Amino acid sequence: MEEKVLFELGSVHRDNMRVKGYYFGSGEHSVCIVGATRGNEIQQVYICSKLISVFEQLEITGKIREEKSIMVIPCVNPHSMNIGKRFWSTDNTDINRMFPGYCLGETTQRIADGVFSNVSDYEYGIQFASFYMQGSFIPHVRMMKTGFEDTELAKDFGLPYVYRRKAKPYDTTTLNYNWQIWGTKAFSIYTNATDSIDDDSASEAVNAVLNFLNKHDIIEYDCHEGYISRLIEGSELVNVKNETAGFFIRRAGVNSRVRKGDILAEITDPYTGRILEEIKSPVNGIVFFHAGQPVIYSNTPLYRIIPTGVPSVPVR
């Protein structure tokens, strides 16, 4: 293993910020794995640490294929992580909305440029991402429709679902989008946690990455091949919102099978405990996502459900 500083930013009152990359193997740039770009993405750093530990052993035992190399960047934003702030600590900008970056621009643009100049030439790019809302997902591979996405490759992770959605204007400045535009086969992996550690879903994500690398002859690793992934389109999912603000008491978790009319959650009065609203499933389906915050405002997307009346499409 070789540790390199990919980008360094001077600081007046603190130690310099250093974005570090951990290299394994040699030869062609095969795969780059990126963890946290935001300061609250604890789970994403944790997954990278587990992968680094595995890659160290694989390198020692000669299980990384000849002329193949792997780079892992656990954290792109250590300054914000050190103070528990999601976005850049000075101006609250999001590094994952600054790619491909600009070396003479604002601070976060320079960080994005420093990172992207080191990762743009890899064959495969894997990012452990987080959702803008607090909550939990069924672990899955997420892709945007850019014209360069490859859902056939995405199934090689062996996760239950490959989720594809239409790219929005603000997506054009994300790492995943720019990776694809610059010729890298890019994938985002979502797990059950962001600002806490969920060891079960972290292990599932690690196994998914090892499964992918093994199938593409980057490493030699005996692993379970996982699920036969199914493709779901973002437009298929059913959003379930609330009308009343209050405590959010969940009754259904991710991967639960629900029927139309089943109670998914209750909204209770924070002072009296009185049930203000029952959140019911509008369809038969599988819970793909649920919000995680204990107190919610009205008209909040609480659940996303894969309707079983609209079958998921097998990845071909």
Same domain, 151 and 255: no
One domain, residues 45 and 191? yes
* pTM confidence score: 0.92
Same domain, 179 and 77: yes
| pLDDT(252) > 90 | yes
Higher pLDDT, residue 292 or 311? 292
| Domain co-membership, 106 together with 200 | yes
pLDDT of amino acid 192: 87
Same domain, 34 and 167: yes
pLDDT at 134: 86
CA angle 120, 185, 315 (to 5 degrees): 165
Domain termination residue (choose one: 183, 204, 232)? 232
Give first-to-last CA distance, the chain, whole Å.
37
- Mean pLDDT across the chain: 94
Structural domain count of the chain: 2
Measure the CA–CA gap between 40 and 243, rounded to whole angstroms: 29
Cα 261 to Cα 264: distance, rounded to the nearest angstrom: 9
pLDDT at 316 over 50: no
Residue 295 lies in domain: 237-314
pLDDT band at 118 (very low <50, low <70, confident <90, very high): very high
- Supply the pLDDT for residue 224: 79
Which residue in the block uniquely carries the two structure tokens 């019911």?
280
Do 138 and 250 reside in the same domain of the chain?
no
Label residue 91 exposed, middle or buried (CB < 10 Å: 0-12, 13-18, 19+). exposed
Torsion angle, alpha carbons of 76, 82, 88, 92, to 10: 150
- Measured between alpha carbons, how far is 52 from 32 in angstroms, rounded to an integer? 12
For strands 275-280 and 161-166, give the pairing.
unpaired
- Mean per-residue pLDDT, 269-281: 97
Mean pLDDT of 116-126: 97
The last residue of one of the domains, among 197, 213, 232, is 232
In terms of Cα–Cα distance, which of 99, 106, 86 is closest to 40?
86
167-197 tens-digit pLDDT: 999 899 999 999 999 999 999 999 988 999 9
Q: What is the pLDDT of residue 13?
A: 73
Cβ 230 vs Cβ 160: under 8 Å: yes
Confidence of residue 314 (pLDDT cuts 50, 70, 90): very low
Q: pLDDT (tens digit, 9 = 90+) per residue, 227-236?
A: 999 999 999 9
CATH number, position 295: 2.40.50.100
Residues 95 and 112: their CA atoms lie apart, in Å, by: 6
pLDDT at 288: 97
pLDDT tens digits for range 67-110: 999 999 999 999 999 888 999 988 999 999 999 999 999 999 99
Give the pLDDT band (50/70/90) at residue 312. Answer: very low
Q: Which residue has the tokens 């890298």?
A: 184
Among the candidates 232, 267, 283, a domain finishes at 232
Residues 157 and 276 in one domain: no
Residues 173 and 287 in one domain: no
Cβ atoms of residues 194 and 40 within 8 Å: yes
On whether both 51 and 189 belong to a single domain, the answer is yes
> Does a cis peptide bond (omega within 30 degrees of 0) precede residue 160?
no
